[in-house]
Amino acid sequence: MARVHIGPGTVAGAEHDGVFRFLGMPYAAPPVGELRWAPPAPPAAWDGVRDATAFGPPAVQIADIGIDFGAPQSEDCLHLNVWSTTLDPEDRRPVMVWIHGGGFLGGASSMPEYSGADLARRGVTVVSFNYRLGAFGFLSHPDAGANAAVLDWVAALHWVAANISAFGGDPDNVTIFGQSAGAAAVRALLSAPAARGLFHRAIAQSAGFEDYAVPPSPSYDRITDASEEMFDRLGTRDLDELRRLPAQQVREASFALAGTPPAGQLHTPANLVWYPTTDGAVVADGFAGRPRDVPVLFGWTQHESRFFHRPAGQYARPDLDPAEIYTPEVLATMTRALAGSRADEVLARFGADGRAPYDALTELTTDAIWAEPAWETYQRFAGLGRTAYAYRFARVAPGARRSGLLAAHMSELPYLFGLPTGGDEYDEVDAAVSDTVRHAWTEFARTGVPRYGDGTAWPSCDAAAPRLTVIGDDARSAPVHLGPVAAAINSTREPNRDR
């Protein structure tokens, strides 16, 4: 057992294979009772030694998909975890704070694929944490405000600032990084006044980009409307009464209002409701207000939407036939929803190419929800003169090629946190790519500049000569290439583009 003294008291963690692990430490008081929908309060101090060898409870899962998180779900979820190879405050390692994804409806820092041990062996101190989900984290109420989960993230960063030196970390060199919903959280923190000075670099993986070109993006108005409907479902808008309701009742109402696509359409992240949005208080402004001294690393995967729109054989129910789901009619409906005034042109291109509806649909949704907004973000950062680096993750592991998932949403995560051993899902090329990814991410955390294995810096965002890093079988600098579908969608922005 290893003991560390932090602000609220002493914690005892474990050491395995050279990495110290401290789990389930409270960074705020339980957000229950009068603290439901309130800003996080400081955690209570404790006497003696607190066990820190087990993860804390995951937040109440709004969309519960049956994952075993190792602890019962609970509103009492504001706990964090630390991995480090040193407990010497003088070592001042770069700190990387991970924000988990899950559409703000599910997920937890205790998921095995988010272990910080392998990154810690790269000479950084890794932190992860849980936060309030769904309406628990994003309800808008006139007496409570909105974006309670954003304040959770800020509270976790305050904990890091106050305590991370005891785990060998440098509070003056903190990188926030997240994927999917976690990347949207990174964007919100870039625009949150209360977070200024608490982090110094930011990594956004597969989200957190500009608003979508055609479909409506998650917004404060959308949350406000859903909150009002939720009050109707719960039979009250009185805050005290709402705080006394059973958590399960709030969860069920939150799930019912989580975002259903319009008739004939398939789900995409554009349908999400419970989401960090600009409210003028907690999240005050957009990218233009991003701190100038915070470099950003951002990117997407080559075939993002195949995670959401699965190929044949990738459904929990074997009786589901993708050919019956991804029909020409669905493709036409989704193209009109995502390509707007250029829909006929995009559909004609798909027809001329002779592609199956599934292949066309996954290209369309990947371009509209990820690639095109990422390109718009590239231009935004370059135009503002802010230091930023972009990537496209295109490596297709052997298992992913067999399944048809290819480089889908989340496919880069095993390369960052640690490839599974054994089996035939990954090969020696994947091991080398994993080394490349971890090197770039930790170099960015250490210096603010991601680098290739030979020490060469990645190209930064440049409006005059746009380049990014393509992570395929190797990593290389390449010109930014916007495919014809993404370019058609991007052109719909032109008349109203506001830099």
In whole angstroms, how far apart are CA 425 and each of 67, 404, 420?
Answer: 21, 13, 8
Helix (H, G, I), strand (E, B) or coil at 187: helix
Q: Would you call 180 a catalytic residue per the annotation?
A: yes
In whole angstroms, how far apart are CA 233 and each of 75, 161, 216, 242, 494?
Answer: 21, 40, 25, 11, 41
| Residue tagged active-site, from 79, 100, 309, 409 | 409
DSSP letters along 38-64, please?
SPPPPPPP-SSEEE-SSPPPPPP-SS-
Secondary structure of the chain: what % helix, strand, coil (to 5)? 40, 15, 45
Helix (H) or strand (E) holding 205: strand 201-205
Q: Would you call 304 a catalytic residue per the annotation?
A: yes
CB atoms within 10 A of CB 459: 18
What is the C-alpha to C-alpha distance for residues 155 and 151, in angstroms, rounded to an integer?
Answer: 6
Q: Would you call 241 a catalytic residue per the annotation?
A: no
Residue 298: phi and psi, rounded to 5, are -145, 160
**C-beta of residue 184 within 8 angstroms of C-beta of residue 217:** no
Residue 479: phi and psi, rounded to 5, are -60, 145
| Residue tagged active-site, from 180, 206, 227, 434 | 180
| Residue tagged active-site, from 210, 304, 363, 412 | 304
**C-beta of residue 291 within 8 angstroms of C-beta of residue 383:** no
Three-class SS of 251-319: HHHHHHCCCCCCCCCCCCHHHCCCCCCCCCCCCCCCHHHCCCCCCEEEEEECCHHHHCCCCCCCCCCCC
Place of tokens 């990954």: 426
What is the C-alpha to C-alpha distance for residues 32 and 456, in angstroms, rounded to an integer?
Answer: 50
If you ran DSSP here, which 8-state letter would residue 113 be given?
G
**Active-site annotation, residues:** 180, 304, 409
